Amino acid sequence: MPVKVRCSGCQKVLNAPDKARGKAIKCPSCETPIRVPAGGRGGGGAQKKKKPARSARKPKQVDVLDRLDLDAAEDKSVQLCPKCGTEMYEDEVDCPECGFNLDSGRVKKKTKKEKEIEKFYATAWKDSWKFAKKHTNLVFRSSMYWALFFALYTAFLVLALFALLKWDLPPVGWIAYVTALIFLSGIYGWWWFLWVEVIKVTMDKKADMGKVPFDFFLVIALGIKFLLWELAAILQFGLMFFTLPVVMSHMAMPITWRGWAMPVMVKIFFKNFKPCMFWWLSAFGASLATLALSAILGVILWLYMGAVVLALANAMEVAVDEGFDLPGNKDEVTVVVASIIIAGMLLIVLLQFAVTAFFGLFMMRVNGLMAKTFTKNLELVTRVKEKKYVSKTALKEKRKQAKIEAKLAKERAKYGDDDEDDDDDY
């Protein structure tokens, strides 16, 4: 029966034939001589009595190798990598150390998709940071649009409060309040519009947004769409806000119905848990940076405004003490101070919106890269079949022609045999 021996060179386990006992064989992998024990091992059946070995012949005999099939001598109970000798589990096909594939007999190379996934995790933040820096004009445009919507929202909200509480005009108050909510939705609408456009540009493998148009009514409509999406999400499955990167990926595609189906979004989210959590990690870092920069800018500007107002008040006090007549009255001075404070507050709001837009572009770009890299796993529909318009007249003519051709085909089938017989007569 076969004898199990281990090569001292490559540590491979071999099954040596029974006739090789007491002799030396070569390892088929590293050609290291291996001494096979001469003694018998326990097993079924009686063993034949062997003749004593000749003293003239030494144990090292390699002529037996010509009659042995050493390629089939490997012990399969202990699976070792033929390339590097690493011990492998029985169900493993690829060596965990060198990547050698037992089925193909070659070192497995990384697929193009695996390289793309590695590139995504390695370069997503760097690429997104460059993208946000490149579109600083879009950052300041976004801050201006958001400031505009915020100002309109505040104005109509104040009007609604005055109409309801002071002027006793409920219809005017409610109309103003609804108008304020509509303008508030514009902030979310521009965010939605920008997010979708960034994902589309990234899916097209572009690094430049080009000219981004601003449509006031489209932005308002998208803001209302966002509010309706929140309502639909709550009614279906609860507000699963953690699915947002998956939802926005689908909202940027030609077919968007999946983005409204929260059970589908939750399933796809957990299917792509790792890239989604990578996006949330990016969003968390960007949010922390936004809050920190906004707080720093706010403190600096408030200190600056305080210093300006204090300097103005000290100058006025010195002027009064020295007997100078100040132009205007105290109300005018109050208006000047209030104007300075309001201007400072608007500047703070604009800068905070700009910081939010910058890191928002960063997060949107990461989402776009995720959608481009995991298109299949996210089940994104990137193309739809083009529908060609056909007029009713052309459609009728086409159907009429089809009926005529079908009728002719029936006639050919019916009289075809007779025509062939006539041809044979001639």
Output the tens digit of pLDDT for each of the chain's 426 residues. Answer: 566 777 877 777 777 777 777 777 878 777 787 777 765 444 333 444 444 554 444 444 445 445 545 444 444 555 667 676 667 776 777 776 677 777 777 776 777 778 888 899 999 999 999 999 999 888 888 888 888 888 888 888 888 888 877 777 777 778 888 888 888 888 889 999 999 999 999 998 888 888 888 888 899 999 899 888 888 888 876 667 788 899 999 998 988 888 888 888 889 999 999 999 999 999 999 889 888 887 887 787 777 777 776 776 666 665 555 555 555 555 566 666 667 777 777 777 788 888 888 998 999 999 999 999 998 889 888 876 666 666 677 777 878 888 888 888 887 777 665 555 554 444
Crossing angle, helix 273-321 and helix 330-373, to 10 degrees?
170
Q: How far apart are CA 5 and CA 36, in angstroms?
A: 7
pLDDT at 127: 92
pLDDT at 192: 92
Q: How far apart are CA 358 and CA 133, in angstroms?
A: 8
Whole-angstrom CA distances from 235 to 138, 225, 265 are 35, 15, 14
pLDDT at 404: 84
pLDDT at 368: 92
Question: What radius of gyration do the chain's Cα atoms show?
Answer: 40
pLDDT at 363: 92
Q: Which of 125, 420, 166 is nearest to 289 (CA)?
A: 125
Angle at 122 between CA 118 and CA 127, to 5 degrees: 120
How many other C-beta atoms lie within 10 A of the C-beta of residue 47?
10
Angle at 180 between CA 341 and CA 196, to 5 degrees: 100
Query: Under 8 Å CB-to-CB from 238, ≥6 apart: which residues?
Result: 262
